[in-house]
């Protein structure tokens, strides 16, 4: 009798679940809201576990425990900022969870506007402060001072920005170039630098008579592209800088024949070059002179750039092979994500006959280096490198957030105007404030939408 009662109860429960799918979604999104609200108020929690299948409320006291997954942590010191963003997120979640709300089939712009309309005082607390405040510096120091660096913690800390003077060491660790064990680090770096020097001597420092015709053509293309690299920063116009770029790129291309050299990879070397040079040169990049350094130091910097570039592109190999299928795949995902987040912009772009590939290909190919001021690139790349193997997927959300920064403007433009606008985006006066807003939106949308594509599908 009890067995039959239990079976009947199970059937009723299953029937109830089938009849109330919205309640399940409400539960998941409410859980996301609680988690992100807690995170925005200073708690640390990996972004990858924000969406859960469980309907029970997490114990916030446990959110401060270290995670074994690479995560993202936001530390908004200004409570007003936290409250504004949490409120905006709550409105967004409620809109998504309400099946009768037509707005959730159109766009999420109202909540995005709320996030963007923070008071100036609150916004200033976001502008790169997380990378340099004393508490975060202490956390980085603690993680880096151990005999063995716990990479999970380092990834989580780095996501929100790395103190500039720590960036060279942190980037080497994040990319797996430097070992986490401090006892082995110096020996490994010395060996890898010598290996690069041998490769450069073998492949680059030889006469053209010893190269194949394809290698000569590739070297010529690199030589053409180097002077075009970051043209608005005078440092990159120095002859020695261009020679170092040329040597790094050609050596990399020869050792990676599946792709060889592809235009755009020259841009990807520049953040590494500036960061590793910062260990030896002070002040503004515009005032640097690489000729002040000894040949040995320049060689070490080139080697660090070479190995870090190699490790970065290892997870994006099909982005630069023939026809660049990896980039084409991500552009398609970007189009889909934009459609789900802001349907009017997506529809307008489509009606004007503009393909996402026409403007977003360069974004993925150069990782936004050509789109935003160069002094913000290192901060952006802190987040890129902290994402680790998940970077290609997260780029989709960063670029969606970047594009929809101008959603109102885009709706007013015809095809020709859209092309011109997207080729020359008004980012010249951007500060850390605008960049942090792009990353915050990307984090929020990725956390909410990545595990629930069917919920947002039209």
Tens of each residue's pLDDT in the chain, 458 residues: 444 445 544 545 444 444 444 444 444 444 444 444 444 443 333 333 333 333 343 343 333 333 334 445 444 333 344 444 445 554 554 554 444 444 444 545 444 444 444 434 334 344 445 556 889 999 999 999 999 999 999 999 999 999 999 999 999 999 999 999 999 999 999 999 999 999 999 999 999 999 999 999 999 999 999 999 999 999 999 999 999 999 999 999 999 999 999 999 999 999 999 999 999 999 999 999 999 999 999 999 999 999 999 999 998 989 999 999 999 999 999 999 999 999 999 999 999 999 999 999 999 999 999 999 999 999 999 999 999 999 999 999 999 999 999 999 999 999 999 999 999 999 999 999 999 999 999 999 999 887 765 544 54
pTM for this predicted structure: 0.76
Which has the closest alpha carbon to 370: 197, 196, 210, 233?
233
Give the pLDDT of residue 91: 52
Exposed/middle/buried for 210, CB within 10 Å: 0-12, 13-18, 19+?
exposed
Rounded CA separation 182/165 (Å): 18
Give the three-state DSSP class for 148.
strand
Looking at residue 107, what DSSP letter applies? B
Domains of the chain with CATH codes: 184-315 (no CATH), 325-451 (1.10.472.80)
Which has the closest alpha carbon to 66: 169, 145, 156?
156
Give the pLDDT of residue 132: 60
Which has the closest alpha carbon to 259: 183, 340, 330, 365?
365
With a CB cutoff of 8 Å and minimum separation 6, the contacts of 12 are none
Give the pLDDT of residue 133: 82
CA 395 from chain center: how many Å? 5
Give the three-state DSSP class for 288.
coil
Rounded CA separation 248/222 (Å): 10
Exposed/middle/buried for 35, CB within 10 Å: 0-12, 13-18, 19+?
buried
Exposed/middle/buried for 16, CB within 10 Å: 0-12, 13-18, 19+?
exposed
Rounded CA separation 235/231 (Å): 9
Rounded CA separation 228/226 (Å): 5
Which has the closest alpha carbon to 75: 145, 158, 149?
158
Give the pLDDT of residue 141: 96
Rounded CA separation 413/418 (Å): 6
CB 139 within 8 A of CB 359: no
């Amino acid at each position: 009798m009890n067995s039959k009662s239990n079976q009947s109860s199970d059937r009723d429960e299953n029937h109830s679940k089938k009849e109330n799918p919205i309640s399940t979604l409400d539960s998941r999104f409410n859980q996301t809201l609680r988690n992100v609200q807690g995170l925005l108020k200073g708690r640390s929690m990996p972004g990858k576990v924000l969406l859960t299948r469980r309907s029970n409320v997490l114990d916030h006291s446990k959110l401060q425990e270290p995670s074994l997954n690479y995560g993202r942590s936001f530390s908004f010191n200004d409570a007003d900022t936290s409250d504004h963003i949490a409120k905006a997120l709550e409105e967004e979640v409620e809109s998504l969870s309400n099946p009768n709300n037509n707005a959730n089939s159109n766009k999420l712009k109202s909540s995005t506007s709320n996030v963007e309309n923070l008071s100036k005082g609150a916004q200033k607390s976001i502008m790169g402060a997380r990378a340099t405040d004393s508490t975060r510096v202490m956390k980085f120091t603690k993680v880096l001072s151990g005999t063995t660096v716990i990479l999970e913690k380092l990834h989580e800390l780095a996501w929100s920005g790395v103190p500039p003077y720590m960036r060279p060491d942190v980037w080497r660790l994040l990319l797996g170039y430097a070992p986490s064990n401090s006892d082995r680090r110096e020996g490994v770096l010395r060996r890898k630098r010598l290996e690069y020097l041998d490769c450069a001597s073998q492949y680059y420092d030889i006469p053209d008579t010893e190269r194949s015709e394809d290698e000569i053509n590739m070297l010529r293309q690199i030589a053409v592209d180097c002077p075009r690299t970051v043209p608005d920063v005078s440092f990159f116009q120095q002859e020695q800088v261009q020679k170092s770029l040329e040597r790094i790129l050609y050596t990399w291309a020869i050792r990676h024949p599946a792709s060889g050299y592809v235009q755009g990879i020259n841009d990807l070397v520049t953040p590494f070059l500036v960061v590793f040079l910062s260990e030896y040169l002070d002040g503004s990049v515009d005032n640097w002179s690489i000729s002040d350094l000894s040949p040995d130091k320049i060689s070490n910097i080139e080697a660090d750039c070479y190995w870090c570039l190699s490790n970065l592109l290892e997870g994006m190999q099909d982005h630069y092979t023939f026809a660049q299928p990896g980039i084409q795949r991500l552009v398609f995902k970007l189009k889909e994500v934009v459609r789900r987040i802001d349907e009017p912009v997506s529809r307008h772009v489509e009606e004007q006959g503009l393909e996402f590939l026409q403007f977003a290909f360069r974004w993925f190919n150069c990782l936004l280096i050509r789109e935003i001021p160069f002094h913000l690139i290192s901060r952006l790349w802190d987040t890129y490198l902290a994402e680790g193997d998940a970077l290609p997927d997260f780029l989709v959300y960063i670029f969606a957030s970047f594009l929809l920064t101008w959603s109102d403007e885009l709706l007013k433009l015809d095809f020709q105007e859209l092309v011109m606008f997207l080729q020359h985006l008004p980012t010249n006066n951007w500060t850390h404030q605008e960049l942090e807003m792009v990353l915050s939106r990307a984090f929020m949308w990725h956390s909410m939408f990545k595990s629930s594509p069917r919920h947002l599908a039209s």
